[in-house]
Amino acid sequence: MSSKRKTLLNFLVIIVLTLVSGYIIYPKNQGIKIQDYGINYYNDLKFHLGLDLQGGTHLVYQADLSQIEESEKVEAIEGVRDVIERRVNAFGVSEPIVQTSQKERLIVELAGIKDVNQAIQMIGETPLLEFKEEMTEEEKNNLREQVKDLNMPEEYLSQFFYKSSGLGGKQLDRSDVIFNPNTYEPEVQLQFDSEGKDLFGEITKRNVGKKVAIYLDGLPISIPVVNEPITDGKAVISGNFTIEEAKTLVQRLNAGALPVPINMISQQTVDASLGKYSIERSIVAAFVGIILLSLFMIIYYRIQGVVSVVALIIYALLVLSIFKLIPITLTLSGIAGFILSIGMAVDANVLIFERVKEELKKGKPVTIAIDEGFARAWSSIFDSNVSTIITCIILAYFGTSIIEGFAITLGIGIVFSMFSAIFITKTFLKILVMTKIKNSLWLFGIKK
């Protein structure tokens, strides 16, 4: 493929990416529907805003570590944080902030959740899963004797003819929604850990021909008869569930139980007015900064400055569309990371333009000057951006949620800034070379 055809193909790719990105971030975008080919693709794409921008719920919990050894307290509080994060993630909350404070406190911020009671239920609800085996006849008679003065009907009393087997949610490894191959009804399959597998095998072995009841939150939801020992560590709950009920139960069971009790000591609904004010000010600041930056680039670098401004606009469209697609929850710190990445993109263009000008001053043709200018600038761009990306990875891995948001948006922005500088800017400059503009060195900032 000739260099000219390759440049035109790259230009076409850039145009397509720009149009797609513009469509994705269009405020009234409601997705794409393609039904003529039997495909129904629909995305309700929107920017996900953090608690500081859209409001939500702020909760503070106190963990009860009185029964925990001093050496195990840090592990216990970290376990509480992990369980709470799994719970709120299971309910679709975008990037919840769950962090420890003062060793025994946890701060939970849920963006978009305005109903405090819903948030409290979401975090504090713990499913109590128990497996109970049938009492012996002697134990049943003893129970009947104890409650005979209550004149309790036998069919009602029979629900108490079960005793704890020692197997429960503590030994649960994970749960999944499955469908009964005969009735096609949704069921919940339980997979126990190694301890639970051995325990369940012993329970089913000594209860062949008897009933083993599965209790959830103190109520029996399934009382199957054991036909044979089950040694693979799997059990099935068939409780006439709807699909949604089965999914909810699986989410609750997989979230796990809290390692230690927690008590809520503070609750607050955060208003989004501050976020609205911050967004408005940020937009104004961004526009002012971009206009001033664009004027400087155009005045100083002339035609290359125009190219850089167009490339930055396309860059912004690409990055914002990625924020929507992933999606990335935007906080004020995240927006700051994105704006900083724009500065990195401008810095890359400046390096390239200066190298191109140096080659032009040596009397080299514009085409060769552009190629060699990019080649000379690439090592500096690569080294600076890769070192920043490594820093972003470290911040995202070890930092809190606020720092993580900043690191993620900055990292994504830097990756696309490299793409913008090396691919978009270079393609546009080569397009210009195909015109008569290449004969005017003044437009490239070179005085004759």
Above 70 in pLDDT, residue 127? no
Instruction: Domain of residue 397: give its range.
Output: 3-35+272-444
Q: Does residue 222 form part of some domain?
A: yes
Residues 147 and 251 in one domain: yes
Q: Distance between CA 224 and CA 218 in Å, rounded?
A: 17
Q: What is the pLDDT of residues 432-443, one digit of tens each?
A: 888 766 667 666
Q: Does residue 139 form part of some domain?
A: yes
Written as six digits, the tokens of 173 are: 């490894």
What is the reported pLDDT for 394?
92
Q: Does residue 290 form part of some domain?
A: yes
Structural contact between residues 444 and 302, judged by C-beta atoms closer than 8 angstroms: yes
Task: Answer positive or negative: Cα dihedral of 357, 363, 366, 371.
Answer: negative
Structural contact between residues 169 and 129, judged by C-beta atoms closer than 8 angstroms: yes
Tell me which of 236, 270, 304 is where a domain ends: 270
Task: Give pTM, 2 decimals.
Answer: 0.61
What is the reported pLDDT for 391?
93
Instruction: Give me the numbers of helices (H) and strands (E) for the chain, helices first please.
Output: 14, 13
pLDDT average, residue stretch 95-108: 77
pLDDT average, residue stretch 335-360: 88
CA atoms within 13 Å, Cβ hemisphere of 158: 5
Written as six digits, the tokens of 403 are: 């720092």
Q: Distance between CA 88 and CA 106 in Å, rounded?
A: 14
What is the reported pLDDT for 424?
92
pLDDT average, residue stretch 134-162: 83
pLDDT average, residue stretch 348-373: 88
Tokens 């994060």: give the residue.
85
Q: Does residue 292 form part of some domain?
A: yes
Above 60 in pLDDT, residue 121? yes
- Report in angstroms the alpha-carbon separations of 405 from 113, 351, 399, 402: 19, 28, 9, 5
Of 1-5, 365-369, 417-421, the range with the lowest mean pLDDT is 1-5
Above 60 in pLDDT, residue 44? no
Q: What is the pLDDT of residues 307-318, one digit of tens each?
A: 989 999 999 999
Q: Distance between CA 331 and CA 196 in Å, rounded?
A: 43
Q: What is the pLDDT of residues 174-228, one digit of tens each?
A: 888 999 888 888 988 889 989 999 999 999 999 998 888 888 767 787 788 888 8
pLDDT average, residue stretch 94-103: 71
Torsion-angle region of residue 344: left (phi > 0), alpha (psi -120 to 50) or beta? alpha
pLDDT average, residue stretch 132-138: 89
Above 90 in pLDDT, residue 319? yes
What is the reported pLDDT for 387?
92
Above 90 in pLDDT, residue 155? no
Cβ within 8 Å of residue 29, ≥6 positions away: 23, 45
Residues 308 and 345 in one domain: yes
Q: Does residue 42 form part of some domain?
A: no
N-terminal to C-terminal alpha carbon distance within the chain? 35
Tokens 């709807």: give the residue.
242
* ∠ CA 258-261-262, rounded to 5°: 100
Cβ within 8 Å of residue 342, ≥6 positions away: 290, 312, 315, 316, 413, 417
10-24, 82-96, 142-156: range with highest mean pLDDT: 10-24
Of 22-26, 150-154, 261-265, 277-281, the range with the lowest mean pLDDT is 277-281
Least Cα distance to 339 among 289, 400, 405 occurs for: 289
pLDDT average, residue stretch 233-259: 77
CATH of the domain at 98: 3.30.70.3400
Written as six digits, the tokens of 396 are: 């995202």
Residue 35: band (very low, low, confident or very high) from pLDDT cuts 50, 70, 90 = very low
Q: Does residue 47 form part of some domain?
A: no
What is the reported pLDDT for 258?
67
Tell me which of 270, 299, 324 is where a domain ends: 270
Residue 32: band (very low, low, confident or very high) from pLDDT cuts 50, 70, 90 = very low
Residues 380 and 341 in one domain: yes
Tell me which of 212, 239, 270 is where a domain ends: 270
Residues 281 and 397 in one domain: yes
Q: Distance between CA 21 and CA 23 in Å, rounded?
A: 5
What is the reported pLDDT for 390?
94
pLDDT average, residue stretch 344-349: 88
Q: Does residue 182 form part of some domain?
A: yes
48-52, 167-171, 233-237: range with highest mean pLDDT: 233-237
Of residues 78 and 176, more confidently modeled: 176
Q: Does residue 83 form part of some domain?
A: yes
**SS3 for 242-309, per residue?**
CHHHHHHHHHHHHHCCCCCCEEEEEEEEECCHHHHHHHHHHHHHHHHHHHHHHHHHHHHHCHHHHHHH
Domain count of the fold of the chain: 3
Cβ within 8 Å of residue 315, ≥6 positions away: 342, 345, 416, 417, 419, 420, 424
pLDDT average, residue stretch 99-125: 76
pLDDT average, residue stretch 364-374: 87
56 has which bridge partners? 111, 270
What is the reported pLDDT for 48?
75
Task: Please state, for a pLDDT cut of 90, what percent of the chain lies above it.
Answer: 16
Structural contact between residues 90 and 255, judged by C-beta atoms closer than 8 angstroms: yes
Residues 359 and 394 in one domain: yes
CATH of the domain at 157: 3.30.1360.200
Residues 287 and 424 in one domain: yes
Cβ within 8 Å of residue 437, ≥6 positions away: 303, 443
pLDDT average, residue stretch 264-276: 74
Written as six digits, the tokens of 282 are: 């940020």
Task: Answer positive or negative: Cα dihedral of 384, 346, 398, 90.
Answer: negative
Residues 221 and 307 in one domain: no
CATH of the domain at 390: 1.20.1640.10
What is the reported pLDDT for 38?
45
Of residues 100 and 125, more confidently modeled: 100
Cβ within 8 Å of residue 42, ≥6 positions away: 30, 31, 32, 33
Residues 330 and 394 in one domain: yes
Q: What is the pLDDT of residues 375-418, one digit of tens each?
A: 999 888 999 899 999 999 998 888 766 788 889 999 999 999 98
Residues 434 and 301 in one domain: yes
Residues 205 and 146 in one domain: yes
Mean of all residue pLDDT scores within the chain: 81
Pairing of strands 219-222, 234-237: unpaired
- Report in angstroms the alpha-carbon separations of 281 from 104, 182, 287: 37, 61, 10
Q: Distance between CA 192 and CA 233 in Å, rounded?
A: 5
What is the reported pLDDT for 447?
63
Q: What is the pLDDT of residues 276-295, one digit of tens each?
A: 677 777 778 878 888 888 89
Above 80 in pLDDT, residue 90? no
